[in-house]
Structure 1
């Protein structure tokens, strides 16, 4: 038992010294490590940050599909995308036998900017 405890302490000390010696390498890649000591021994668990690494993730923005679903929910029949740009999505269709046009902002929740 003493040998296992001695090995565990040596590993923890070595990992602690390595963490102190190289703080710039750890911060450059946004890499965080956690040391877990339990009944299975010492385990080094590495965690990457929630970065996309070169690609932009747009989860919380309004997409053309979401805009179409929302327009159909408003009661617009034969809804189709008329235009898409950086700031808005325009959906056109029919409502109560007349032409309907809805413009949604490209932010979370697809808020309505204009309705004709």
Structure 2
């Protein structure tokens, strides 16, 4: 596994970091907002954010005295998808089958009069 993939899976290993990613799915959040959602100390959350940033799963920007974090969802999706494609190649086929099923279910049989 590449170093980047190792960084991503190491970042995903901790439940607090996974929760941070889930919290960021709806948009940018300030570091203080993120920290307020957890019982852990500010420095602990800061370390978690650093691991996520190092893995490329979040970005940060400064706005005056605040640090705002955003999810880099495409990096997460591509990395996990690449790994799954390698380990479980049939998942690609299954995903295509699942995409087609709802369309097939949506079709109704012709009504006879």
TM-score (norm 1): 0.24
- Structure of higher RCO (CA pairs closer than 8 Å, 6+ residues apart): 2
TM-score (norm 2): 0.24
